[in-house]
Structures are given as structure tokens and as C-alpha cells.
Amino acid sequence: MLTFVTTNPGKVHEAEEYLDDPIQQLDFDYPEVQADDLATVAAHGARAAYRHAGEPVIVDDSGLTIDALGGFPGPYSSYVEDRLGIERVWELTKQEDDRSAAFRGVVAYCDGEDFAATPEPVDRGEADESRSERRGQDLGADERASATIDAQVAGGDGTIPVKLFEGVVPGEIVAPRGDGGFGFDPIFEYDGRTFAEMDTDEKNAISHRGRALAKFAEWFANIER
């Protein structure tokens, strides 16, 4: 049994298609650190989720990046969906000539152990420690506050290794269409259809999460447990 720590049942539904092992959802809203890259957010999240669950966990951190908006909303996708809504993200983007975008996702696995070398990266928390030290020394008050959050989330065990699996899918932002999926799916078009116009199998075959989960599933089937 593998525990997927997420507040989003749509993610679990998609993951079930990939893994031979049964998956249970643990609905825990782990603290998300503020960082520009999803891998850092996912690695912190996986450690926090593992501490909470006390058993092997995966978390998934995903985001939509819109090229003409400098990669917005990126790591802030959840906040933007909540506060602005996808209709207003479409309104912002439709003024642009270039509406290209991408979904990016990182699946992060943590079971408290170290991992054998494979092509996928392992986050051991070193980057966080050096960044926190640097922030403490020569950066401003906002960044020091952020470093404090880093340290709290790391909880003194920032060195617990986390295995990371990344996936990206390019697409275009369009006016909302379709009833399936979740989140930004109705405004994300790939090859003529939005993700909300696809069923789960079709979306998985091309999506960022599908790509990350496929790599994770292959690796997970071969590790010693």
C-alpha cells in the first residue's frame, strides 16, 4: 500500500491508473514552502508528508506556466486558481499573441531511506541549508522570513532523501471547454482538445503527471521493499 498525501482526489484517481500497488489518499494539507521551482516545493512537501504519515508517501506538486506571462502562475498555481479562478487566467492570456503554456509536475517519494542511483534526481536538502544560511546573512527581512519557514518545514531533518520524478507537457491556453479533469484542465489545450475534454486515460497518456508517474511506477516496481 502506498500513501498519496494530497488534498486533491483527482490526482489520486490519475495515479491509480499507473501503479500496481493499491494507493490510499491521505488528505493532509502539508505546508508548502515558497520557492521558484517545483522540485524544491515537492521535496519539502514529501518530507513533511512522511513525518505526518509515518510510512512511505508520494506527493505531487504541479503548476501551470504561461510563457507570455513570464511563467505565471507557476508554483503559485493553486493560490491563483483559488483567488482569481481559471476564467480570469484565460482573460489575462487572451490579450497575448503567444498563448503557449506548459503543465509541469514533480512526483516526490519519501520513505525515510536513501535511494540507489538512477537517472532521476534525489533531493537531500543540501541546497536548502545553504540557501537558508545565505538568506540569514545577507538578504532582506522578507527573505529571512522565508528562510525561517524553510527551516521549520525541514524540521531539522532536511537531509532525509527524497526521490523526484518530473514531467512536462506543452500546450496552449484557450477559452474554457469541457467538463472532465480538475483545476486548469478546461483552459489547457493539447493537440486540439482541452484536458477537460479528455477522459483520464487520454489525459494520463500525455500529461505532466502521467509522465512523472510513469517514471515513478517503473522505478518503484524495482526498488527493494
Identify which of residues 23 and 129 has a Cβ nearer to ligand ITT in the complex: 23
Query: 49 near 110, Cβ under 8 Å?
Result: yes
Which one of residues 185, 190, 198, 216 is an interface residue with ligand ITT (CB under 6 A)? 185
Min CB(198)–ligand ITT separation in Å: 11
Q: What is the DSSP string of 136-176?
A: HHHS-HHHHHHHHHHHHHHTT-TTS-EEEEEEEEEEEE-S-
- Count interface residues toward ligand ITT (CB under 6 A): 21
- φ/ψ region of 56 (left if φ > 0, alpha if ψ in -120 to 50, else beta) reads beta
Closer residue to ligand ITT (CB): 77 or 93:
77
Q: Choose, by CB under 6 A, the member of 12, 101, 207, 217 that binds ligand ITT.
A: 207
167 close to 212: Cβ distance less than 8 angstroms: yes
Query: What is the rounded distance in angstroms from the CA atom of residue 223 to the CA atom of residue 225?
Result: 6
Which run of H or E residues covers position 100? strand 100-110
Please list every residue from 4 through 23 that binds ligand ITT, using CB under 6 A: 6-8, 11
Least Å distance between CB 68 and ligand ITT?
A: 18
Interface residues toward ligand ITT, by CB under 6 A: 6-8, 11, 29, 60-63, 77-78, 81, 103, 181-185, 195, 207, 209
